[in-house]
């Protein structure tokens, strides 16, 4: 596979890069608007650590919604399935990732899943730690472990930029407090601070691919042999990636690519081929549903060529 990938990936990247013209770089977080429209990079890493990188794979970007998969795993490790599912549901919404709609319309006002913003904020409130700084530190430590020990850090300019403009997320969080999804003891601003920080953890494609590899192998880092997350929790996270990972385009992506993936508004996509590869992509121009246009196209081409679909 890697020989074929080395031969074909440059051509596929070139084809997919053209799709950046059909997207727009996210601007609602002002710092993100600085990303160049036509960047496209991809790293695919295999179980022995072999990897192929094509395009601008050194380009640094913040994880944004991709981080939600990993905070979900940490919340499971902190509270078990019952504790997490007391706060969030298991279903896709069909609404935008930052929608408030169903929080009011559908009893009991619990976010439908942990990958929409409301659900991820609820999950962040579950992360253990005495102070927001300790919570962020635990999250960062876990992300670093999952990346095989990379020196990851929060891009504080991005976190601050998000916090300064996060009127929608603030409303969602206060709404959750009113619905008692965020408990009495929870300080809404502190939860938001941790949420903005984990969304702003900066990675490049090889680091993202390495994190994906751990999910591809059921929570075991195949390179070190260490179990980082119980298999059951990874199974749940991958189910969410298939049903909600690409937001309202998750159905189309399941049909066209058929592998678990999670996107972020910085243009990152983490994807995986179960039992085999971890994939990290960046392509900052987003389509109408919030996913990298070039990145999605690239994954669809690759999945078709290598017959990766799980279905
Ligand atoms: O909360 C937000 O809006 C961002 N920090 C993350 C959103 C995101 O990445 C949605 N993904 N496509």
CATH number at residue 172: 3.40.710.10
pLDDT at 94: 87
Query: Is 268's pLDDT higher than 90?
Result: yes
Would the annotation count 214 as a binding residue?
no
Pocket test for ligand 1, best of 31, 35, 68, 97 (most atoms within 8 A of CB): 97
> Going edge to edge, which strands form the sheet with 201-203?
61-62, 201-203, 153-154
Distances from the Cα of 147 to the Cα of 41, 144, 170, 303, angstroms: 18, 5, 30, 24
Query: Is 221's pLDDT higher than 90?
Result: yes
Overall number of domains in the chain: 1
**265 annotated active-site:** yes
pLDDT at 1: 86
- Mean pLDDT over residues 273-294, rounded? 98
Q: Whose CA is nearest to atom 4 of ligand 1?
A: 64
pLDDT at 251: 97
What mean pLDDT value characterizes the chain?
97
Q: Does residue 97 line the site of ligand 1, with CB under 6 A?
A: yes
CA distance 229 to 248: 28
Give the structural domain span for 227: 1-306
Share of the chain above pLDDT 70, in %: 100
Those residues with Cβ within 8 angstroms of residue 1's Cβ, 6 or more apart along the chain or in another chain:
46, 277, 306
**177 annotated active-site:** no
Distance of CA 3 to the CA centre of its chain: 28
Query: Residue 311: inside a domain, yes or no?
Result: no
Query: Residue 72: inside a domain, yes or no?
Result: yes
Distances from the Cα of 198 to the Cα of 136, 138, 156, 277, 308, angstroms: 7, 10, 10, 24, 30
The predicted-structure confidence for 224-253, as pLDDT tens digits, reads as follows 999 999 999 999 999 999 999 999 999 999
CA distance 134 to 155: 17
pLDDT at 270: 99
Distances from the Cα of 216 to the Cα of 36, 106, 237, 274, 275, angstroms: 30, 34, 11, 4, 5
Other C-beta atoms within 10 Å of 41: how many?
A: 26
pLDDT at 73: 99
Query: Is 217's pLDDT higher than 90?
Result: yes
Nearest to 89 by CA among 128, 127, 122: 122
- State the catalytic residue, choosing from 195, 233, 234, 266: 195
- Mean pLDDT over residues 143-168, rounded? 98
Q: Does residue 57 line the site of ligand 1, with CB under 6 A?
A: no
pLDDT at 149: 97
The predicted-structure confidence for 187-215, as pLDDT tens digits, reads as follows 999 999 999 999 999 999 999 999 999 99
* Comparison of pLDDT for 103 and 76, the residue scoring more: 76
- State the catalytic residue, choosing from 229, 247, 292, 303: 247
* Stated pTM of the model: 0.98
Those residues with Cβ within 8 angstroms of residue 190's Cβ, 6 or more apart along the chain or in another chain:
132
């Amino acid at each position: 596979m890697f020989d074929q990938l080395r031969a074909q990936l440059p051509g596929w990247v070139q084809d997919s890069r053209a799709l950046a013209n059909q997207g727009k770089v996210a601007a609602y977080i002002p710092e993100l608007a600085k990303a160049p429209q036509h960047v496209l990079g991809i790293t695919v890493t295999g179980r022995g650590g072999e990897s192929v990188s094509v395009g601008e794979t050194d380009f640094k970007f913040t994880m944004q919604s991709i981080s939600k998969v990993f905070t979900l795993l940490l919340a499971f490790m902190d509270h078990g399935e019952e504790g997490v599912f007391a706060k969030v549901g298991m279903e896709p919404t069909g609404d935008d990732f930052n929608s408030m709609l169903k929080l009011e319309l559908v009893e009991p006002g619990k976010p439908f899943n942990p990958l929409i913003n409301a659900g991820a904020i609820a999950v962040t409130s579950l992360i253990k730690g005495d102070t927001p700084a300790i919570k962020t530190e635990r999250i960062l430590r876990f992300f670093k472990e999952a990346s095989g020990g990379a020196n990851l850090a929060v891009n504080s300019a991005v976190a601050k930029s998000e916090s300064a403009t996060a009127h929608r997320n603030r409303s969602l969080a206060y709404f959750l407090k009113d619905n008692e999804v965020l408990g009495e003891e929870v300080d809404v601003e502190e939860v938001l601070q941790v949420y903005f920080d984990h969304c702003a953890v900066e990675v490049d494609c090889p680091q993202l691919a390495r994190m994906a590899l751990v999910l591809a192998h059921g929570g075991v880092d195949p390179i070190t042999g260490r179990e980082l997350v119980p298999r059951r929790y990874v199974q749940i996270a991958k189910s969410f990636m298939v049903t909600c990972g690409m937001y309202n385009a998750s159905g189309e992506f399941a049909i066209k690519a058929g592998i678990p993936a999670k996107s972020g508004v910085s243009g990152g996509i983490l994807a995986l081929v179960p039992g085999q590869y971890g994939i990290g992509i960046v392509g900052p121009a987003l389509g109408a549903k919030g996913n990298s246009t070039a990145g999605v196209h690239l994954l669809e081409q690759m999945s078709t060529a290598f017959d990766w679909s799980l279905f």
